[in-house]
Chain A
Amino acid sequence: MLNAERAPVTGKRVQLMATCLCDAFYDDVAAATVEVLEHLGVEVIFPEGQTCCGQPAFNGGDWVASRKVVRHTVKTFAGDEPVVVPSGSCAAMMFHGAVLEFENESDLPEVEALGRRTWELGDFIVNGLGVKTWPGKFAATVALHRACHTRGTGSIAAANLLLKSIVGVQVVEFGEVEQCCGFGGTFSVAFPNISTAMGALKLDHLRAAKPDILVSPDMSCMMHLTGLAAKEGQPIKAMHLAQVLRDALKAQ
């Protein structure tokens, strides 16, 4: 389903798309992304004018509003460096969602071009840069959440590969891994009962596997699951993939 074809990576300079969730809540995930990329010898450019990928309006059906934001994003991320995003859903928005909503627009080629150079972080490290192992140490049992927007991409395999290569990390499987956490953006607002029930089910499966940490390649699922768990009075510890990679480096 996804237009997941990527232009091969040449050079060691990328633009960072930090995402609105990092801008507002998860500053440490963006910081970890910078540190991880710099560790790999990659120069990170942060286009200051960036805002959001346009996904909320796209999913909500307001494509006029969404296209306005995407056009801003296309302008902001001009150039030909790869664009790296610590979020599977924002990456998918760029290489799939935006392409869909620009189908009949004259600036479709520009949108497609940005899509072809946009990468989710783990996918970029493994499939873009060809890095297959991760140094350092991180002593924890982790469960890797399959963020839905990574379906059909290399992201989950990449995250698994990196996590399993870290000394001290033990990856545990849990039930119904392919099922959604129930977030779905505006879905969780308009369908709060179903969304909550889906999240509770995911939490049940996760807790049964008894990981120390839930690792996610996407902040939105993480926000949903930790938010639900906290309100239940049984908080779970969650980290973004970038944070685990960064912390592993620190323990080198």
Chain B
Amino acid sequence: MRFQQFDQFAAELKADTRAAVYDGSKKGHEKRTKLLFDEYPDPNRLRHLAGEIKQHVIENLDTYLPAVEAKMKANGVQVHWAGTAEAANEAVLRIMRARGATKLVKAKTMVSEETELAAFLEKHGIEALETDLGEFIVQIDGDHPSHIVKPIIHKNRREIAQSFEREGLGAYNDDPATITQRARKFLRHKYLVADVGLTGANFVSAESGRMVLVTNEGNSRFCLAATKCHIAMIGIEKIVPRDYDLALFLNLLARSATAQELTVYTEFISGPKSPVQPDGPEVMHVIFVDNGRTEVLASTCREILRCIRCGACLNVCPVYRQASGHAYRSVYPGPVGAVLSPLLMGDKFPQKADLPKASSLCGACNEVCPVNIPIPDLLLRLRNRAKEENVPSPGTPPMGAWALLASQPLAWRASLLGGKLIDYVPTKLIPVPALQAWAAKRALPAWRGGEFRKWLKARRK
């Protein structure tokens, strides 16, 4: 392989897909930044603080997890633990079968994307319907989301209108309002006949066992207003210490994710519905999912577990904007995905070891992260891990000889003089294909090896 697969993918991306991804992410970033800086004298303090709180949580999960479990049980929630994606899916299936349930409506949850829950349930004869508009479109298209909060950032209205027509949701009409109304009309009757509503959780308060769920569309609320059984799949890192901390996190999440002061629906759920309430789940199950997280916790990249899935790092990332989310071949694209996705692979890390290299290490991701994750540092650590595990990496020149040269001053100075040759080698003859591609697009400055040292010597005389 001459080039990185990721770079090839970006090069072959359709022009209008690239434009859609670029415009969508750029706008998202600009709105977020304006909102944060308009409203707070020092938004960076909020980010740093939130990062410290989450770091505290992940470094104390051994006490927080049992504490949350105890609170939830006391609140009447049935708590389950799933070590793997398969175990998590099996747990959902078991709960459904025990109820004789056959229809599930689900809100957007990244962890269920990890476990590919919908496909698993369908295979076992259960109708599992995505209700977030973007996720619904992804589902009917058999596609994959390409952004954490804007799953169909890569699609345009014409493609969506065609999908709706194909699925019998109405004659071709690419007006976004019409598309939305058709989904509304179709989905509301699906919720009402569903047995189980499945959601994730954005935060779980260890103090109260309350889980917090945010959506703009109201689909998760509909799941929890229409069905009698609620299953929440929750990554074990989703905890915040206290209810008190929620104001900070909710403010940061809404602004970072969608440039809103607050997400439209923020639901605080500590158990099954109140006895005085006719609508909503009588039974609530929580499945705490590991699926590789404890391995991340044991790694030198555990800071990535602070992530609150806002997508701000995708929006600002110049590489994401050029390559789109599908270039990452993972549930989590963008800078956070370049760290998290290879880590979640466990032993199969080499399969995604190229992702940490797909970054110019510009650091913009760290600058916008609402929990201040040092993403570039983590990318670097993973590059080092890939090297230590001898994962082949096209386009990465071997550094051993260079290091030898750069630690021997005499040899270094000799090469400064010899480097003049570079001026005479035609691009076509450069022996490394990737370097050839580099030089085909960029002129090198003239070689001036050793000239400065000469100049300085003359000046000092």
Please choose the segment from A129-137, A158-166, A179-187 that sits at the chain B interface, where 4 or more of its residues have CB less than 8 A away. A179-187
Cβ–Cβ contact B357 & A183, under 8 A: no
CB A219 to nearest CB in B, in angstroms, measures 9
A26 with B445: in contact, given A51-B412, A56-B402, A192-B438 (CB under 8 Å)?
yes
In the complex, B298 has a CB within 8 A of chain A: no
A61 with B383: in contact, given A26-B445, A69-B403, A192-B437 (CB under 8 Å)?
yes
Chain A residues with CB below 8 A from B366, complex form: 1, 151
Cβ–Cβ contact B403 & A68, under 8 A: yes
Q: Give bound CA distance, A27 to B382, whole Å.
A: 35
Which residues of B in the span 216-271 have a Cβ within 8 Å of any Cβ on A? none
Q: Give bound CA distance, A20 to B447, whole Å.
A: 12
In the complex, B171 has a CB within 8 A of chain A: no
A227 with B445: in contact, given A57-B399, A148-B363, A187-B357 (CB under 8 Å)?
yes
| A20 (CB) vs chain B CBs: closest residue | B406
Count of chain B residues with a beta carbon within 8 Å of a chain A beta carbon: 74
Chain B residues with CB below 8 A from A25, complex form: 444-448
In the complex, B168 has a CB within 8 A of chain A: no
Residue from B367, B416, B442, B449 with most neighbouring chain A CB atoms (10 Å): B442
Chain A residues with CB below 8 A from B367, complex form: 151-152, 178
Other-chain contact of B380, A30, A100, A227 (Cβ < 8 Å): A100
Other-chain contact of A180, B360, B383, B399, B407 (Cβ < 8 Å): B360
Chain A residues with CB below 8 A from B213, complex form: none
In the complex, B283 has a CB within 8 A of chain A: no
Cβ–Cβ contact B406 & A69, under 8 A: yes
Cβ–Cβ contact B384 & A23, under 8 A: no
A179 with B441: in contact, given A57-B399, A101-B384, A194-B10 (CB under 8 Å)?
no
Cβ–Cβ contact A186 & B397, under 8 A: yes
Q: Say what secondary structure dominates the interface of chain B.
A: helix
Please choose the segment from A6-14, A115-123, A195-203, A210-218 that sits at the chain B interface, where 4 or more of its residues have CB less than 8 A away. A195-203
Other-chain contact of A189, B363, B395, B443 (Cβ < 8 Å): B395
Chain B residues with CB below 8 A from A48, complex form: 409, 453
| A47 (CB) vs chain B CBs: closest residue | B409
Q: Give bound CA distance, A69 to B441, whole Å.
A: 30
Chain A residues with CB below 8 A from B383, complex form: 59-61
Chain A residues with CB below 8 A from B432, complex form: 189
In the complex, B46 has a CB within 8 A of chain A: no
Cβ–Cβ contact B442 & A231, under 8 A: yes
Summed over the interface, the residue pairs from A and B with CB atoms below 8 Å come to a total of: 223
A31 with B455: in contact, given A54-B406, A179-B318 (CB under 8 Å)?
yes
Chain B residues with CB below 8 A from A148, complex form: 360-364
In the complex, B376 has a CB within 8 A of chain A: yes
Count of chain A residues with a beta carbon within 8 Å of a chain B beta carbon: 73
In the complex, A82 has a CB within 8 A of chain B: no
* A21-49 contact mask (Cβ, 8 Å, vs B): 1 or 0: 01111111011001000000000001011
Cβ–Cβ contact B442 & A227, under 8 A: yes
Cβ–Cβ contact A61 & B386, under 8 A: yes
A60 with B456: in contact, given A26-B448, A48-B409 (CB under 8 Å)?
no
Chain A residues with CB below 8 A from B322, complex form: 194, 197-198
In the complex, A52 has a CB within 8 A of chain B: yes
Cβ–Cβ contact B319 & A24, under 8 A: no
Cβ–Cβ contact A34 & B443, under 8 A: no
What 5 A-B pairs come out closest when comparing CB atoms? A184-B360, A190-B395, A61-B383, A227-B442, A180-B362
Q: Which chain A residues have a beta carbon within 8 Å of chain B's beta carbons?
A: 1, 18, 20, 22-28, 30-31, 34, 46, 48-52, 54, 56-66, 68-69, 71-72, 76, 97, 100-101, 148-149, 151-152, 176, 178-180, 182-199, 201, 223-224, 226-228, 230-231
Cβ contacts A to B, 27 pairs, < 8 Å: A1-B374, A18-B452, A20-B406, A24-B448, A25-B444, A49-B409, A51-B405, A59-B383, A61-B387, A62-B387, A62-B399, A69-B407, A148-B364, A149-B363, A184-B359, A188-B438, A189-B395, A190-B4, A191-B4, A191-B395, A192-B3, A193-B8, A194-B11, A196-B441, A198-B319, A223-B445, A231-B440
Q: Which chain B residues have a beta carbon within 8 Å of chain A's beta carbons?
A: 3-4, 6-8, 10-11, 26, 316, 318-319, 322-323, 357-364, 366-367, 374, 376-377, 380-387, 393-400, 402-407, 409, 412, 416, 419, 432, 434-435, 437-438, 440-453, 455-456, 459
